[in-house]
């Protein structure tokens, strides 16, 4: 069951959630949630009070925490230095019966009061800290928080701390008659109800047309925030404040910027280069000439190639990060092309390689792991578990890229230098956001740190690994694959999207083998990342690695336009490859871009899959656009809504609502 407080005091809002009695089933998690029946609700009330005073002998801050909860109540706690509320473990001494939990927090068992009415404990904190953070743990599945947030006790400076200050709060508690345990899925069911209420509110306000666009976007953000919280609960049994847990999205932004790193939701991305673009030596100037043309086609964001000096001419083996003379052009030409795209109203993504860096010098053993240039790092900047480069840093937080030294992002000096470099690129060059190369190589939490420092308009990571196959044939269920991408996005706290490699792979099999049933998952939703977290899915069918002259994973020949008919009519943020724009596909791509813009299809658009059979896939998007793929027959339903044909090609067709 979920326990909740019934009344409120000054400054404390009611906290409500549902009580559930659940059957325990060993079921594989699919998507973000499972629907669960609500069968019982218990209204109860408990309190926790914290008194704060300064010790005149030691100048330390003393906190006495008391609660009327009974039994084995554990305080899961830490401290913070400022309003950012980043958890830290203070120095010893600690109260008796305290253990360190995963080097992230402390856990202290409260002592029962005399008479058995509640429990308490005294905590001592150095005066350097600004706040005391905690949650209460009743058992492995029961965590009590303050209105879904960690309890936070501000510790004022010693000069203004009174002799004693007391904060008392209502908390979810344990009713005497309650014998059930709080389950993670039950709590998530409460979140789902909140989401449904928001959706109903959103839908009714749209129908009445009484709410502003800003308010509607705010509701969408809140829904997304709750969904992320529900997701994180399924992924961990620990409280949601840990680094690998819940996505924390910012509150609603002005219409031009829904959420940092994810743009407005209406972006259409153009990859502005291929694997051979460096060969002319003047790619920036060639691309500049196409800026007006690309803008007129409907593209709002262009992804430029890596700008730094590189051992490889394509730019993906960077060496001196501040040297922006590359095979694509020099720094002045780069600024020129950026300014030109800004002039035509487009945003620019810089392709940044943060996972690895090529060294300038060898160490005493002849290993290339000493760096030069402005960022003259030594081998402490290289991970310790790559035998090729003998780093003295910590072990890698991801997969190693064995062609160059893998950078240890756990080092403070490395993160500081990278943040300064990215900010310099933002300010000096004018980049609006980032395409992040090989993000499998390092923990997504570091990406969050970099993006929070640079505040990009849009950011997308390349998390590319193999899909699931059985005896050489692609599995229908690719949940494990898209889950890994979702996990990375979640580790970055939703500050960036990711390329939807899952959708690309499924399109390969569906189109090449005439198995269009693959385009619907077991719940009737799109089977890629776009089906689980569409606002963070950047869909594509080809890029410089998979296509071009590399051809590592080329899209089925002759079926490219079916792929574009899918990603340009569906939610997610679509990315179109440069080679396809300037080819015989140009006219068909332009028609699909027009459909998307004219009908205001966006990254969160709603998809209703109406057919997913052997030879045909059909869907209706936002009740405005109908489309079908495959040789099989489909016509949008006649009735209250009239449909008009707008464009078609080989094995695809698109209609608009009249």
* Residues noted as catalytic: 437, 462
B/e letters for 172-187, b = 16+ CB within 10 Å, e = fewer, are bbbeeeeeeebbbbbb
Alpha helix (H) residue ranges in 469-554? 479-491, 501-512, 529-532
Say which residue the tokens 């100048």 belong to. 59
Alpha carbon distance, N-terminus to C-terminus of the chain: 49
Neighbours of 453 (CB within 10 A): 16
> Does the N-terminal peptide bond of residue 93 adopt cis geometry, omega within 30 degrees of 0?
yes
β-bridge mates for residue 653, sequence order: 628, 648
Extended beta strands in 383-512, E state? 433-436, 458-461, 469-470, 473-474, 497-499
Residue 262 sits at φ, ψ, to 5 deg, of -125, 10
Helix and strand numbers, DSSP H then E, in the chain: 13, 28
In terms of DSSP bridges, do strands 46-54 and 607-612 run parallel, antiparallel, or are they unpaired? unpaired
Per 3-state DSSP, the chain is made up of helix, strand and coil in percentages (nearest 5) of 25, 25, 50
The vertex-549 CA angle with 544 and 555, nearest 5°, equals: 65
Alpha helix (H) residue ranges in 136-247? 184-208, 213-235
CA distance 582 to 587: 10
CA distance 574 to 579: 15
């Amino acid at each position: 069951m979920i326990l909740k407080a019934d009344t409120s005091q000054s400054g404390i809002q009611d906290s409500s959630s549902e009580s559930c009695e659940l059957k325990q089933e060993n079921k594989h998690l699919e998507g973000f949630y499972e629907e669960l029946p609500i069968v019982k609700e218990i209204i109860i009330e408990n309190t926790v009070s914290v008194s704060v005073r300064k010790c005149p002998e030691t100048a330390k801050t003393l906190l006495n925490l008391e609660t009327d909860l009974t039994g084995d109540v554990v305080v899961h706690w830490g401290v913070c230095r400022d309003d950012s509320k980043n958890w830290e473990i203070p120095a010893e001494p600690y109260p008796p019966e305290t253990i360190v939990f995963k080097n992230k927090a402390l856990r202290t068992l409260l002592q029962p009061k005399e008479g058995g009415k509640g429990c308490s404990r005294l905590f001592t904190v150095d005066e350097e800290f600004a706040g005391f953070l905690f949650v209460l743990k009743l058992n492995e599945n029961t965590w009590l928080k303050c209105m879904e947030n960690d309890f936070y006790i501000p510790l004022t400076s010693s000069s203004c701390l009174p002799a004693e200050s007391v904060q008392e709060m209502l908390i979810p508690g344990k009713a005497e008659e309650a014998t059930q345990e709080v389950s993670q899925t039950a709590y998530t069911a409460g979140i789902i109800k909140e989401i449904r209420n928001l959706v109903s509110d959103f839908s009714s306000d749209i129908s009445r047309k009484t709410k502003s666009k800003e308010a509607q976007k705010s509701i969408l953000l809140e829904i997304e925030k709750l969904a992320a919280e529900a997701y994180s609960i399924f992924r961990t049994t620990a409280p949601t404040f840990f680094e690998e847990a819940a996505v924390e999205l910012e509150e609603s932004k002005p219409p031009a910027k829904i959420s940092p790193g994810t743009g407005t939701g209406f972006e259409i991305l153009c990859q502005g280069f291929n694997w051979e673009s460096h060969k002319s030596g003047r790619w920036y100037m060639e691309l500049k000439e196409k800026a007006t043309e690309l803008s007129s086609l409907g593209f709002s964001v262009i992804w430029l190639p890596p700008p730094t000096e590189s051992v490889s001419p394509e730019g993906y083996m960077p060496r001196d990060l501040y040297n922006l003379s590359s095979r694509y052009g020099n720094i002045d030409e780069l600024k020129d092309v950026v300014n030109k795209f800004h002039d035509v109203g487009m945003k620019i993504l810089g392709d940044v390689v943060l996972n690895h860096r090529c060294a300038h010098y060898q160490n005493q053993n002849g290993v290339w792991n000493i760096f030069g240039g402005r960022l003259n790092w030594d081998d402490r900047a290289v991970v310790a578990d790559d035998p090729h480069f003998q780093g003295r840093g910590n072990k890698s937080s991801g997969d190693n890229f064995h062609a160059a030294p893998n950078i240890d992002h756990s080092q403070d000096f490395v993160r500081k230098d990278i943040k300064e470099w990215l900010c310099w690129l933002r300010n000096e060059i004018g980049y609006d956001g980032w395409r992040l190369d090989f993000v499998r190589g390092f923990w997504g939490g570091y990406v969050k740190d970099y993006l929070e420092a640079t505040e990009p308009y849009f950011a997308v990571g390349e998390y590319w690994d193999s899909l699931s196959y059985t005896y050489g044939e692609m599995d229908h269920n690719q949940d494990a694959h898209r889950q890994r991408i979702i996990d990375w996005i979640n580790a970055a706290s939703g500050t960036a999207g990711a390329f939807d490699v899952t959708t690309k792979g499924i399109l390969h099999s569906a189109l090449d083998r005439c198995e269009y049933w693959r385009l619907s998952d077991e719940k009737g939703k799109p089977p890629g990342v776009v089906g689980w977290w569409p606002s963070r899915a950047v869909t594509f069918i080809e890029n410089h690695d998979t296509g071009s002259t590399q051809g590592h994973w080329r899209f089925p020949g002759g079926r490219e336009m079916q792929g574009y008919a899918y990603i340009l009519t569906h939610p997610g943020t679509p990315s179109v490859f440069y080679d396809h724009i300037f080819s015989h596909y140009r006219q068909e791509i332009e028609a699909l871009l027009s459909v998307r813009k004219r009908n205001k299809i966006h990254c969160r658009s709603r998809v209703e899959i109406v057919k997913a059979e052997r030879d045909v896939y059909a869907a209706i998007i936002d009740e405005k656009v109908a489309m079908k793929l495959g040789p099989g027959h489909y016509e949008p339903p006649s009735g209250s809504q009239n449909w008009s044909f707008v464009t078609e090609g080989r094995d695809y067709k698109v209609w608009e609502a009249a």
